Amino acid sequence: MNAIVSKNWVLARLYEPDIVIADCRFLLGKPDVGREAYLEAHIPGAVYLDLEKDLSAPICEHGGRHPLPDIDKFVQSLSKAGIGNDTRVVAYDDQGGAMASRLWWLLRYLGHSTVYVMDEGFSAWQKASFPVSAEQKVIVPASFVPHPQVELVVSVEEVKAKLHTAGTMLIDSREAPRYRGEVEPIDPVAGHIPGAINRFWSEGRRADGSWKSPEEQAERFADLSRDDELIVYCGSGVTACPNVLALTEAGFDKVKLYAGSWSDWISYEGNPVATGEEGKQ
């Protein structure tokens, strides 16, 4: 089964006992907006998982702007949300699937495969006149035993070691002007990791905001070799996740996340930086 599910699919399973719906709405730069929106209205029974409090660790010198959460603390968040090893998880947001994809990736990283992202997001759910609620469900804590899939993530040292090596392709998920180094609204250094190609994460969706089909995703990445190791990054490791999801939907099975991403890369003095169209295919 594909990882992207329709809002009708979610509606039909709204009250099935083994499903937990996770509201992941979050607005970068305005950290309280997502939780406030959740408290105002959410899919009935949904729990809220915060990008910076639940799905990331605190910022340090290295690790990027959204470091991967400590596994033990993340497992505590999952337990409080009622997510166990046998739970089917459906994540949604209103940010094009970026935040929901972060939860999707984290759960897969911990060995949990039955996790899905709801297509289109909460606004589309509301527009369809599907039920919403302001009530917060009483959650029975669940037991979640992590089984980390360490092959799904790479460190800055691994990225450095693999620069310009055959069989490895770096994919930068940011908008093209940021990739080229023409603008940089967030991080102190502009540009990209040398050799990286650019595939803006949002191009995984159609004009109406819905996710492209696996076949359409495959067309997006038609120039990439399925034999290559694909290392995906963005600014902080969040919007790289929808690209990882899209590549997975397209049938690529050697996809890894550079979790620290650009903000981690430039935190190390001496790491090379490229600008312009270098590395574009």
123, 130, 106, 64: which is closest to 263 by C-alpha?
64
Between the CA of residue 213 and those of 21, 119, 217, 240, what are the distances in Å?
A: 22, 11, 6, 18
Q: Token pair for residue 54?
A: 């639940």
d(CA 81, CA 78): 5
Q: Residue 24 catalytic? A: no
Report whether 274 contacts 191 (CB < 8 A): yes
Cβ burial of 14 (10 Å; 0-12, 13-18, 19+) is middle
Place of tokens 């009483």: 138
Q: Write down the catalytic residue from 24, 60, 234, 241.
A: 234
Report whether 235 contacts 183 (CB < 8 A): no
Kindly list the catalytic residues: 234
